[in-house]
Amino acid sequence: MNRGQILLLIVLIFLNKTSMAGNTKNYFQQEVNYKIDVRLNDKKNSLAANIEIEYINRSSDTLSDIWIHLWPNAYKDRNSALCKQMLENGDASLYFSKEEERGYIDSLRFTADGEVITLTYDKSNKDIAVLHLSKALLPGNRVILKTPFFVKLPSAKFSRLGYIGQAYAITQWYPKPAVYDRDGWHAMPYLNQGEFYSEYGSFDVTIHLPQNYVVGATGDLQTESEIAFMDAKAVEAKNYSNDMAFPKSSTAFKSIRYTQQNVHDFAWFADKRYYVLKGEVITPHKENKVSTWALFTNSESHLWKNSIQNMNDAIYHYSALVGDYPYKQCTAVDGTIAAGGGMEYPNITIIGKAYDPFTFDMVLAHEIGHNWFYGILGSNERDHPWMDEGMNSFVEMKYAMLKYPPSVYGNLNELGAAGLAGRILGTNQYNYKEAGNFEYQIATGNFSDQAIANKAVDFTYINYGIVAYKKTALAMNYLQDYLGDSIFNACMHSYFDEWKFKHPHPGDLQKVFEAESQKNLDWFFKDFIYSDRSQDLKFKKIKKTDSGFDFTVQDKAKLNAPFPVSAYHDSIKFITWYEGSELGKMISFPCEGCAQLMIDEEGSTLDVNRKNNRFPRNHKINVSILPKTHALDNHSLFITPIAGWNRYNEGMLGLSFYNTSLPLRQFEYSISPLYAFGDKTINGIANFKFTFPVRNFFIDKISINNNLRKFSYGEELYRNENLKFVRENVGYVRYSPEITFNIKKSHIRNSISQTIQLQSVHLLEDQVQYTFNQGKASGAIKTENINFYRFKYLLVDRKVVDPYSLKFQTEANTDFAKADVEFKYRISYKMKGKGADIRIYAGKMFHDNLNGLYGYFLSDRNGVRGSNDYAYDELYFGRSETEFFLFQQMALRQGAFKIYTPFGAYKDWIFSANISIDLPIPLPLKLYADLGTTDEFKDDIKAVYDISSNFSYNAGICFSLVKNTIEVYFPLIKSEEIKKYLDNKDSKYSEQIRFVFNLYNLNPLNLRNQLF
Ligand SMILES: [Zn+2]
């Protein structure tokens, strides 16, 4: 499967040690041969079939049961491992699917050597069952298992099996014995993240389907009439168009038969719209003739018309680097049916939308490459995805670097690097290896690196693509640079020769590499791939000597891995590799007259911080106007013009100096001074953030953030000491240091994250203070110093269906103490992005010397100066406004009433419940209602407004362009006391409309932080 392009796209838009399978048991492998006869019903999207399985027990064990995979049942209901994993990975499509979109396998009636046998489903997985043999299967014996079966095909929009219209992807579709090997049975449920492990054998498959279908399948076609049909299709004239309609199915059926040996799976694809192209390639070593077939629709015919050349290149290249392609044919089909990327099966690959020729070539090469890493070298991909996806990605990377001159990579990939985002971020400058390294840095930059040797199911969704694919490819490249090309290539070839059509373990790969290279490679196979620490090599001690350099090198991650050191003398490069055992030891590097010494200049290692790899250090800073991705060996400084506006400062212009980009950096800052043209003052925002990982503690990450902000917040009219009226702006300076502790998760994939935060807010607030002299009051602006101290606990479950969060906060200073709690719960609808939100909020004042100055309110903006946001947490266009348009801006805080109400809890407690319900229509509209009460309500307010209810409420309809960020609230219903209050004020309806415009949420950098 291909994940790289998907990941790069995501990025641009926006430990456990598994035990090394060291087993002393002798290697053996079972043989499983299949005969299947299947009929496609393209009206009901189903298969009716009979299967005969010859199971040969080549182990020394007697088997009384055979574990069997019934993987179409993965689409049966919400309880399947597939559905659960998809949800965890943020995909609720199967969870919310309609009955008719789901699939299953049934009508099974197994016999063993003609006798009916029983089948028991696995308790937790309906796509796994165990067959109870009536006669135990002795070592060396065989049993013939037979059963009819019926498959209701699911929609192919979920995963790999199914249909879109009348395009069929028939994969993982028949009952299939699990692998029995040195470690026992490997029964596993079907998953998206975590692929395959199957027994080798032969297939003899006959497919019955309407005559006008074009079929691509594993194996060699045996039916003469169908061979003629395909050959004719291949040479017929092609009139490419935009037509994607399905022709009517022929009423007459055809029967076509395929056979293949030494494969571990059989997949087939059928579509009536397919064009056919045919070619041939001869493998480099054994000169095997391989027919290449391309089957495609009009969807991307401009890419597919050249696909035979792409396929031939990939087959030739992989054969040269790994070993000759051993089969007679290789087919690629256009997978407008599968979601994104591509998918591999023996002899056949399905390719999704690729958009541009370079991506198309790479995805095609990657999927064809799986014929080696998966097809021929059949490692257990669920347990060791790196041996499959990773090693395949490595050869794919080598292929890209060989085939395309380095200067043109970035401009080839329209989807990622060469698109607008790629040009802004500078990723179009990366070569293929550097692009992979950039993706890896995304994981390390957030301290969420994982070990290469993880099981597929233990990777986070994003790391499955980054670590199992890209990091492994980079690590294999590291091993290659360390061993040298010729030794490395010899190792690959012996691995292929020794393990083709078998089930190699990581230990087997190590053995081959060590035997061929005559080197101990424990550093790689026992340490490096099992570590989740990110390598960071640096010079520790270093001095220049008369004859060269004396130095020690340190790896901050304490990995015991080799490293190259190099220097130039008259532009001649001297390079030496040192073993990991040399780390920390004094090394003499003879190089007379050399000016500079470098660790890993060529980027062989996985060093994540190359700024400390040079002596003397270079302090080059890359400066640009828009944020570019960070270069590994330089500092970045971005200087972007910015503009702002508020009612008092009026128009502001300035520059933002910052280093925030991708990947995340340990120290990030932004300094954004703004000149205000209204009151001619300097304002702005500055932020300094330092994040570091913590190990072996219940905390896994600590970040320290310092935020500084200065703006004008209002306009005052007062008599000065000369008793003249003056109108003057007042401003504030807010400094808020905070420290945030990320509580370690029980498992890195857990969707619940918890943080504890300590924050203090220090305000310098301009206030007009009056003095009385001979009965006359005169004012002057003085600056008050006010401090607040906060403790916050936040729990967020980011699961895709029904996410929730809980926030508890206490706040105090010498004058008051209060605590509040906010619970949010979202009920997700089937319709993507829609749902209903419930919020419960309660707060209590424990101590208050200031008569409710820091009290609670049902609605935002209740202060004397327009806002009760006393700690200046929010940003408003007109903070001190008390009427009209700017006053109608609100923040969803405290009681979060959407209509203005003056009622609050000055002294004691508040409670509110807020509900908003997205309308299940493709318009951004929602209904909302707020209900709340406070201690003041019972007596004072009831008496003043002559009402009987203890509760205040309001409801209406909201236009929500961006949730909680850009929204307009139109009130429709309000409780009696709100009505009376507004009537007394002669408030017009237009003044009762309120809006949210949240500048924090609109900052792209905050958006970036939400991704991690
Ligand atoms: Zn793959």
Closest CA to 193 of 465, 379, 475, 473: 465
In the reported structure, the alpha carbon of residue 4 is separated from the centroid of ligand 1 by a whole-number distance in angstroms of: 9
> Across residues 967-979, what is the average pLDDT?
95
In the reported structure, the alpha carbon of residue 355 is separated from the centroid of ligand 1 by a whole-number distance in angstroms of: 18
In the reported structure, the alpha carbon of residue 597 is separated from the centroid of ligand 1 by a whole-number distance in angstroms of: 39
Total residue count of the chain as it appears in this document: 1012
Q: What is the dihedral of CA 483, 485, 486, 492, to 10 degrees?
A: 80
Residues in CB range of 951: below 8 A, 6 or more apart? 931, 932, 933, 937, 975
**pLDDT at residue 1011 above 70?**
no
3-state secondary structure of 938: helix
In the reported structure, the alpha carbon of residue 20 is separated from the centroid of ligand 1 by a whole-number distance in angstroms of: 22
- Helix ranges, 426-471 (H): 432-445, 461-463
> Across residues 530-535, what is the average pLDDT?
94
Question: Do 843 and 909 form a contact (C-beta atoms < 8 A)?
Answer: yes
In the reported structure, the alpha carbon of residue 374 is separated from the centroid of ligand 1 by a whole-number distance in angstroms of: 9
**pLDDT at residue 118 above 60?**
yes
Q: In the prediction, which pLDDT does 805 show?
A: 97
- For 529, 570, 825, 874, 990, the CA distances from 930, given in Å and listed in that order, are 54, 76, 15, 21, 20
In the reported structure, the alpha carbon of residue 12 is separated from the centroid of ligand 1 by a whole-number distance in angstroms of: 21
In the reported structure, the alpha carbon of residue 50 is separated from the centroid of ligand 1 by a whole-number distance in angstroms of: 31
In the reported structure, the alpha carbon of residue 343 is separated from the centroid of ligand 1 by a whole-number distance in angstroms of: 7
The whole-chain average pLDDT of the chain stands at 92
Better-scored residue on pLDDT, 901 or 74: 74
In the reported structure, the alpha carbon of residue 530 is separated from the centroid of ligand 1 by a whole-number distance in angstroms of: 21
In the reported structure, the alpha carbon of residue 381 is separated from the centroid of ligand 1 by a whole-number distance in angstroms of: 10
In the reported structure, the alpha carbon of residue 389 is separated from the centroid of ligand 1 by a whole-number distance in angstroms of: 5
3-state secondary structure of 953: strand
Please give the single-letter amino acid code of residue 585: K
**DSSP string of 690-750?**
EEEE--SSSEEEEEEEEEEEEEEEEEEEEE-TTS-EEEEEEEEEEEEEEEEEEEPPSSTT-
In the reported structure, the alpha carbon of residue 32 is separated from the centroid of ligand 1 by a whole-number distance in angstroms of: 25
Cα distance between residue 629 and residue 736, in whole Å = 28
Neighbours of 623 (CB within 10 A): 12
> Across residues 971-990, what is the average pLDDT?
93
**pLDDT at residue 769 above 70?**
yes
- Write the pLDDT tens digit of every residue in 771-795: 888 888 889 999 999 999 999 999 9
Cα distance between residue 332 and residue 315, in whole Å = 12
- Confidence band for 19, pLDDT divided at 50, 70 and 90: very low
- E strands present in 57-103: 63-69
In the reported structure, the alpha carbon of residue 349 is separated from the centroid of ligand 1 by a whole-number distance in angstroms of: 10
In the reported structure, the alpha carbon of residue 493 is separated from the centroid of ligand 1 by a whole-number distance in angstroms of: 20
Cis, bond preceding 663 (omega within 30 deg of 0): yes
Better-scored residue on pLDDT, 25 or 572: 572
Cα distance between residue 171 and residue 499, in whole Å = 25
- Confidence band for 395, pLDDT divided at 50, 70 and 90: very high
pTM for the structure as a whole: 0.92
- Write the pLDDT tens digit of every residue in 797-810: 999 999 999 999 99
Q: Which two tokens stand for residue 494?
A: 């012996």
> Across residues 54-67, what is the average pLDDT?
97
- Confidence band for 51, pLDDT divided at 50, 70 and 90: very high
DSSP summary character for residue 897:
B
Q: In the prediction, which pLDDT does 412 show?
A: 65
In the reported structure, the alpha carbon of residue 346 is separated from the centroid of ligand 1 by a whole-number distance in angstroms of: 13
Q: Which two tokens stand for residue 722?
A: 């000369």
Q: In the prediction, which pLDDT does 379 show?
A: 97
In the reported structure, the alpha carbon of residue 299 is separated from the centroid of ligand 1 by a whole-number distance in angstroms of: 22
In the reported structure, the alpha carbon of residue 827 is separated from the centroid of ligand 1 by a whole-number distance in angstroms of: 35
In the reported structure, the alpha carbon of residue 824 is separated from the centroid of ligand 1 by a whole-number distance in angstroms of: 39
Cα distance between residue 464 and residue 393, in whole Å = 13
In the reported structure, the alpha carbon of residue 379 is separated from the centroid of ligand 1 by a whole-number distance in angstroms of: 13
Instruction: List phi, psi (to 5°) of 321.
Output: -85, -30
- Confidence band for 22, pLDDT divided at 50, 70 and 90: very low
Cα distance between residue 394 and residue 474, in whole Å = 7
> Across residues 945-967, what is the average pLDDT?
92
Cα distance between residue 948 and residue 943, in whole Å = 9
Q: Which two tokens stand for residue 27?
A: 């290697």
In the reported structure, the alpha carbon of residue 367 is separated from the centroid of ligand 1 by a whole-number distance in angstroms of: 6
In the reported structure, the alpha carbon of residue 919 is separated from the centroid of ligand 1 by a whole-number distance in angstroms of: 40
In the reported structure, the alpha carbon of residue 107 is separated from the centroid of ligand 1 by a whole-number distance in angstroms of: 33
Q: In the prediction, which pLDDT does 406 show?
A: 67
- Confidence band for 5, pLDDT divided at 50, 70 and 90: low
**pLDDT at residue 566 above 80?**
yes
In the reported structure, the alpha carbon of residue 358 is separated from the centroid of ligand 1 by a whole-number distance in angstroms of: 17
In the reported structure, the alpha carbon of residue 620 is separated from the centroid of ligand 1 by a whole-number distance in angstroms of: 38
Cα distance between residue 474 and residue 436, in whole Å = 8
- Confidence band for 17, pLDDT divided at 50, 70 and 90: very low
Cα distance between residue 777 and residue 772, in whole Å = 4
In the reported structure, the alpha carbon of residue 360 is separated from the centroid of ligand 1 by a whole-number distance in angstroms of: 14
In the reported structure, the alpha carbon of residue 502 is separated from the centroid of ligand 1 by a whole-number distance in angstroms of: 19
- Confidence band for 417, pLDDT divided at 50, 70 and 90: low
Please identify which residue in the block is written with the tokens 């009920």.
827
Closest CA to 210 of 38, 36, 37, 41: 41
Instruction: List phi, psi (to 5°) of 445.
Output: -60, -25
DSSP summary character for residue 484:
-
In the reported structure, the alpha carbon of residue 87 is separated from the centroid of ligand 1 by a whole-number distance in angstroms of: 22
